[in-house]
Chains A and B, each alone.
Chain A
Amino acid sequence: MCLGVPGKVLQIEAGDIGMPMGKVSFGGITKEVCLAYVPDVQIGEYVLVHVGFAISKIDEEEAAQVFEMLRQMDELAELEIPQPE
């Protein structure tokens, strides 16, 4: 149930009772999403959506850290190869 799906914000508008709503695209499928919990989100940014609510923005720089760790592990693995005597 704690499923969160990343999507791209296409449009931001004021919904009923002034709540910020937006259109978010999930690889082509577009859904109406409540943006009240990401008040500073901009069009074009990615958000994580759970049961119709954006619960956080996705930080593009941090998104690369998995690959950074993999790269470092590669380098370390190379260093571990014993040198010929």
Chain B
Amino acid sequence: MRFIDEYRSEADAQKFVQAIQRLVTRPWTIMEICGGQTHTLIKSGIDQLLPEAVTLVHGPGCPVCVTPLELIDKAIAIARRPEVIFTSFGDMLRVPGSETDLLSVKAQGGDVRMLYSPLDAVKLAQKHPDRQVVFFAVGFETTAPANAMAVWQAGQLGLENFSILCSHVLVPPAMEAILSSPLNRVQGFLAAGHVCTVMGYWEYEPVVANYRAPIVITGFEPLDLLQGIYMTLKALEEGRADLENQYSRAVCREGNQPAQQLLAQVFEVCDRQWRGIGMIPRSGYRLQPQFARFDAEQRFAVADITAEESTICVAGKIMQGLKKPCDCAAFGTLCTPEHPVGAPMVSSEGACAAYYQYGRAVQVEEGTR
């Protein structure tokens, strides 16, 4: 297949690894924002090929991981209602809520369905006028245009039995929250390429200028990531704080204009809670007032559900680059993919799941045996 295999060549990857080895003179810490990138880095072993001086920490770019616990509890409360068909991307179904998860609700007879696209939820609502179809609309800027289109389409079709449980989050405010923390140790970023296909990268210009941290918009294949790391390290070694675009085959500065136009029509920026991290001002989307009738939280009166977080899970610290998954006392013992304590252990983009799946657990486990 084109635009995939050519970015996985081992010989070319080695060239980047050697170039990085020649380049690095001092310790550096860089963060990849996106959990999809985390998985590729760990799966392909790039983290282990880099010089020891280079530390990769893993960012908050896992929508499943940052969706607040109480929103998962709300989803569960809605999914239990007999008139509801509750729909979601697969990853959300296994995330533990306070007491149970959506998959268990399904096992107990709830009508919970996994969908590929939010447009399929709109189709379900058309097909089942006697049921309430709810879509769990989580995600970053990459996913927001798809969810915006589903809401817009439901509006055009005059559907009264469709709504979304909305937990949209935005990347630039989260990066600023990380950089402005007194504990911050991230010196440069690989920005999430697919977020930037939609939003472009002009939003990062003030971040680079204000915090003097280089940012490289980076793709998702191993060679993309190695090139992104090389470019970030080169900027750091040369003392430059530049914004550069490694992923120019899919990303331009202005981003996708038609997508941004529909986003502005359907959503408005709001403050959002990030699971484990806390409230970040102006870091999410909610429905515009003219689309508020599609808000599941209002339709099903679940707004007052609250929840308490587990005290052992350090996911929030991991996603801010302050800890690694193996630093968590529960990692691989109390918390495993079969019995997850926190969301990053179940999500296909969670850092804890990546470390567990690709054996970064082994040392810790053997050491404790």
Contact = CB atoms under 8 A, between A and B. Distances in A.
Chain B binds chain A: yes
Interface of A: 1-4, 6, 8, 17, 19, 26-27, 34, 36-39, 46, 48, 50-53, 55-60, 62-63, 65-67, 69-70, 73-74, 77, 80
Nearest to A4: B194
Interface string B112-124: 0000111110000
Contacts of B89: 1, 51
Interface of B: 1-4, 6-7, 12, 15-16, 18-19, 22, 34-36, 61-64, 89, 91, 116-120, 138-140, 142-143, 145-146, 149, 153, 156-157, 192-195, 197-198, 220, 223-224, 227, 246, 248-251, 256, 258-259, 262, 348-349
Contact of B16 (A3, A6, A70): A70
Nearest to B37: A2
B250 A56 contact: yes
Nearest to B33: A2
A66 B15 contact: no
A2 B139 contact: yes
A2 B36 contact: yes
Contacts, number: 135
B249 A63 contact: yes
Contacts of B146: 34, 50-53
Given A51-B116, A53-B117, A56-B197, A17 B153 contact: yes
- B interface secondary structure, majority: helix
A50 B143 contact: yes
B117 A1 contact: no
Given A6-B4, A58-B250, A66 B223 contact: yes
B142 A50 contact: yes
Contact of B2 (A2, A8, A37): A8
B142 A37 contact: no
Contacts of A62: 248-249
B174 to A, nearest CB: 14
A17 B220 CA distance: 34
A6 B19 CA distance: 28
Contacts of B118: 51-52
A26 B118 CA distance: 20
15 contacts: A1-B91, A1-B138, A1-B143, A2-B143, A2-B349, A3-B36, A4-B250, A27-B4, A51-B117, A51-B143, A53-B146, A58-B3, A73-B16, A77-B19, A80-B22
Nearest to A56: B197
B197 A48 contact: yes
A26 B227 CA distance: 25
Given A4-B142, A55-B198, A65-B248, A36 B149 contact: yes
A58 B258 contact: no
Contacts of B34: 2
A26 B4 CA distance: 11
Contacts of B258: 36-39
A39 B63 CA distance: 28
Contacts of A80: 22
A74 B3 contact: no
Nearest to B138: A1
A44 to B, nearest CB: 12
A17 B250 contact: no
Contacts of B18: 77
A55 B248 contact: no
Given A3-B36, A73-B15, A53 B149 contact: yes
A50 to B, nearest CB: 6
Contacts of B256: 37-38, 55-56
Contacts of B349: 1-2
Contacts of B153: 17, 19
Q: What 5 pairs between A and B have smallest CB-CB spacing?
A: A52-B117, A27-B1, A56-B197, A63-B249, A6-B3
